[in-house]
Structure 1
Amino acid sequence: MEMRVYGEPYETAKGATIITVARLGGSRFGPRDVAAVPVGVFVIHDGAVTWKPAVDETRIALMAVSIGLASAVLATLAVLRRPPWPDLSRR
């Protein structure tokens, strides 16, 4: 079961109020373990509320590297296993 947890609001030196948000869910270590993952923060400044999401750059970079590796493998296979008909000539 997944839950959202909101942190205690605190005020910055510039007068903005920050409220952190995390997601609690089951861990891979067992059903009784709980893992907290940051989701983002609410920023309240001059009466306006904005949402700033937490971005996981590691996941984005891993996906980019995986896509690059897969495209390199496919390109290598295409070059090594090209069809024979360009080499055929009419006699």
Structure 2
Amino acid sequence: MKYAELLGQARDAITVRRVFGDPYESDGAVVIPAASVGGGGGGGGGTGDGADGRGEGEGLAFGMGAEPVGAFVLRDGKLTWHPALDVNAIIATVGKVLIAGIVAFAVTRRGKRRD
């Protein structure tokens, strides 16, 4: 794949249609889903001698990710924002806090036994 082709695909991939989904109706309201979209890329090139004495080289990569963040809801002429709930992030955060608390408790209890 050539550089121009990949850059064209990257440009097409990062559009407002990736951030905001198609509106749809639900229970008399219009719902517009939204996502956080990010991406990045890099490229290379080359000339000169390779290990076998030939000059060559080329390289290009692109990556993209998205996750839902919520939805706008239009009901009775009023627009409201409803954030998405990331249960996995909540569980991971609570788990880290619990582990830190257990470690802190164990360390302080251990120090008191020595006195």
The TM-score, its normalising length taken from structure 2, stands at: 0.61
Identity value in percent: 34
- Matching residue of 1:89: none
1:6 corresponds to 2:20: yes
Q: Which amino acid aligns with 2:98?
A: G
Instruction: Answer with 31-40 or 48-57: which moved more.
Output: 31-40
Q: Which amino acid aligns with 2:24?
A: Y
The TM-score, its normalising length taken from structure 1, stands at: 0.75
1:80 corresponds to 2:99: no
Q: Distance in 1 between matches of 2:111 and 2:93?
A: 27
- Matching residue of 2:34: 21
**Gap regions ≥5 residues in structure 1:** 85-91
1:68 corresponds to 2:98: yes
Q: Which amino acid aligns with 2:89?
A: R
Aligned residues: 79
Higher strand share: 1
Cα distance, 1:3–1:71 mapped onto 2, change above 3 Å: farther
Higher helix share: 2
Q: Distance in 2 between matches of 1:72 and 1:23?
A: 34
**Gap regions ≥5 residues in structure 2:** 1-13, 41-60
Q: Distance in 1 between matches of 2:109 and 2:28?
A: 60
1:39 corresponds to 2:32: no
Ranges of 4+ aligned residues in structure 1 off by more than 2 Å: none
* Aligned residues: CA RMSD: 2.2
Cα distance, 1:32–1:81 mapped onto 2, change above 3 Å: same
Structure 1 counterpart SS, 2:28: coil
